Amino acid sequence: MDDADAILQQLKQRLGTDLQYQQQTVDEILTLWVSKERIVPVIQYLKTEIPQSFKMLYDLFGIDERNRNRFNGLPMADFTVVYVLFSFEQNAFIRIKVALRGEYPSINSITSIFQNANWYEREVYDMFGIRFDGHPHLTRILMPLTWQGHPLRKEHPARATEMGPFRLTDEMQDREQESLRFKPEEWGLKEHGDDADYMFLNIGPQHPGTHGVLRIILQLDGENIVDSVTEIGFHHRGAEKMAERQSWHTYIPYTDRVDYLGGVMNNLAYLLAVEKLAGIEMPDRAMTIRVMLCELFRIASHLVWFGTFAQDLGQLSPVFYMFTDREKIFDIIEAICGGRMHPNWFRIGGVAQDLPNGWQQLVQYFVDYFPPKIREYEKMVIKNGLFKARTKGIGIYTLEEAIEWGVTGPGLRACGFEWDWRKKQPYSGYDRFDFDIPTAQNGDCFDRALVRVEEMRQSLRIVKQCLENMPAGDYKSSHPLTTPPLKKYTMQDIETLITHFLNVSWGPVIPAGEAMSCIEATKGANSYYCISDGNTAAYRVRIRTPSFPHMQMLTYISKGYTVGDLLSILGSIDFVLADIDR
């Protein structure tokens, strides 16, 4: 890539010997190792000084390298911290890696450069015990404050059976409860202002407005939000840790449950990365089937958002109509996949089965049925005066703020920025489809709603094109690493039988390497970064979800609004707790 070369030359000039190594990765993203001392200036340089700079901190995570099968030429490391930045002007990622030595190493924080590094660094600290010097509030974020150990370290057990039996004594319960008590001074919040005493209102983790186990602590002056603290982690199930214990194939069902409204869309993000590593070319039919299913799930997810958003604002009825329509989508999905919310239907190298006979009628019915329904809902909700009063001018952020905080998806497009990974970095054959990227201009709750409603129409267009132009051919690639391995190659001789047996019982061995996928999921950019060291299980899987940065922004965008507005803002973000906590 020429752009990447140009960047590399500039960086080499600028950094000299600080640039330790350039790593080749399967996904062809420029990957550079930088010395620990120089990380802050390098990130600063990439964000502000370089032409066509990398304005978005896309992801930040750690890797425990201690058990990894050694690889050629890479700097020695016990732990690695990886910074993934994105430049919209170049349409390119850059990956900066820092090698750390020692049991509990530390590194300088980049929170002064990127605001959204805050939660990411807390997560790395929580998961690996790596300290970030200069971080404003380095505490655990996903695990309970009382947790012993750091889960993503290799020595931390991955299964309950590896730990002793669990007993909750009274003292432990008291300790747990005490650790959940909110102490404003720990967060630098004052209980008394110049002319008012503040009230701290604890919203959640059980609250009808948060759509899941999310805790928001509001510092209130009357009903005005002075400041807030968002606590996540109640829905944390260790999806990344599980990847290290499951085979490449048996991890697929876990991805379904990350953004549980996105269904097979999660499979896609994971499999794209795995297929890159394995070097699998997909047949056209498999790609188109995947696109059709994904777009159906996008509509289903947006319907849930639309209904619950209206309900958050006190409109009781739309949610019933929309869930009924979502059922109609699930009818199709059930007929094709057998499952509903978590069909677990994509496989390495394709999909589980071919489309069933008569699938066209089902999809055709929905394609005809749905457009008038969208119009009806638009009239019912979007055009309602009270809905407008509750959402227009509320929760505004500008395009610059959105990029600074790592916002992707409809939230970014509502700021007037036409950015959709399906168009800009097409995957799974999206370049063959004809659809528009809806945008809006003001970046408030209302515009985010508008964008999503229009997205449903565009998704329906894609589904229609899938219906009309479904290519013939295989639903699965004939590559030897696909799962489950194709039976037709089995009964040739003992070798083919053994290969089949191993691929079924142990699962495929994915060649060593690193690859990241990036898809436009229902809520924004979703990425799986898979590291294989040539085993039947991933060495490390990093899941970059859109909801995590979006939720991090809540404190920033809800300041100065009222308690009622907070619900509009929460609803307009369209988050899924499992997508935040993983």
Partner 1 sequence: MTTEQILIVFGVLFVLLNIAAGLIWVERRMLALWQDRLGPNRAGPLGVLIVLADTLKLFFKEDWIPPFADKWVFILAPAIVVASVLMSFVIIPFAPGIVVADLNIGVIFFLAMSSIAVYSIVLGGWASNNKYALLGALRGASQMIAYEVFMGLSLMGVVMLSGSFNLGDIVAAQKNLWFVVTQPVGFVIFLIAGIAETHRLPFDIPEAESELIAGYHAEYSGMKFGMFFIGEYLGVTLISAMIVTLFFGGWLGPAFLPPLAWFAIKLFFFIGLFILLRASLPRPRYDQLIGYGWKIILPVVLANLLITGAVALWLRG
Q: Which is nearer to partner 1, 307 or 485 (CB)?
A: 307
Q: Does 316 bind partner 1 (CB under 8 A)?
A: yes
3-state secondary structure 175-238: HHHHHHCCCHHHHCCCCECCCCECEEEEECCCCCCCCCCCEEEEEEECCEEEEEEEECCCCCCC
Q: Minimum distance from CB of 87 to partner 1 (Å)?
A: 39
CA atoms lying within 13 Å on the CB side of residue 194: 1
Nearby residues of 64 by Cβ (< 8 Å), 6 or more positions away: 78, 79, 128, 152, 153, 154, 540
Q: Which residues pair with 87 in a beta bridge?
A: 92
Q: Which residues pair with 220 in a beta bridge?
A: 199, 225
Q: Minimum distance from CB of 220 to partner 1 (Å)?
A: 8
Q: Which is nearer to partner 1, 174 or 327 (CB)?
A: 327
Q: Reduced to 3 states, what is the DSSP secondary structure of residue 30?
A: strand
Q: Which is nearer to partner 1, 319 or 407 (CB)?
A: 319
Q: Which is nearer to partner 1, 279 or 564 (CB)?
A: 564
Contact 62, 240 (CB under 8 A): no
As a whole number of angstroms, the distance between CA 540 and CA 244 comes to 6
As a whole number of angstroms, the distance between CA 445 and CA 253 comes to 33
Q: Which phi and psi (to 5°) does residue 415 adopt?
A: -90, 15
**Cα(first)–Cα(last) distance of the chain, in Å?**
33
As a whole number of angstroms, the distance between CA 221 and CA 227 comes to 10
Q: Which is nearer to partner 1, 85 or 566 (CB)?
A: 566
Q: Which is nearer to partner 1, 387 or 433 (CB)?
A: 387
Q: Does 567 bind partner 1 (CB under 8 A)?
A: yes
Per-residue x/- mask for partner 1, residues 466 to 495, rule CB under 8 A? ------------------------------
318-357: which residues touch partner 1 (CB under 8 A)?
Answer: 320-321, 324
- Token pair, residue 505, equals 């019982």
Per-residue x/- mask for partner 1, residues 180 to 209, rule CB under 8 A? -------------------x-xx----xxx
Interacting stretch for partner 1, rule CB under 8 A, among 150-158, 315-323, 328-336, 399-407? 315-323
Q: Which is nearer to partner 1, 109 or 568 (CB)?
A: 568
- Type of residue numbered 427: Y
Residue from 121, 123, 447, 565 binding partner 1 (CB under 8 A): 565
Residue from 256, 312, 404, 447 binding partner 1 (CB under 8 A): 312
220-249: which residues touch partner 1 (CB under 8 A)?
Answer: 223
Instruction: Give me the residue label for tokens 């958003």.
Output: 309
Q: Which is nearer to partner 1, 279 or 560 (CB)?
A: 560
Q: Minimum distance from CB of 386 to partner 1 (Å)?
A: 5
> Of 78, 83, 77, nearest to 31 (Cα)?
83
Per-residue x/- mask for partner 1, residues 371 to 410, rule CB under 8 A? ----------x--x-xx-xx--------------------
Q: Does 48 bind partner 1 (CB under 8 A)?
A: no
Q: Does 177 bind partner 1 (CB under 8 A)?
A: no
Interacting stretch for partner 1, rule CB under 8 A, among 5-13, 121-129, 531-539, 563-571? 563-571
Q: Does 566 bind partner 1 (CB under 8 A)?
A: yes
| Total residues in contact with partner 1, by rule CB under 8 A | 30
Phi-psi region of 128 (alpha: psi -120 to 50; beta: other; left: phi over 0): alpha
Q: Does 562 bind partner 1 (CB under 8 A)?
A: yes
As a whole number of angstroms, the distance between CA 231 and CA 209 comes to 15
> What are the residues binding partner 1 (CB under 8 A)?
199, 201-202, 207-209, 223, 310-317, 320-321, 324, 381, 384, 386-387, 389-390, 562-567
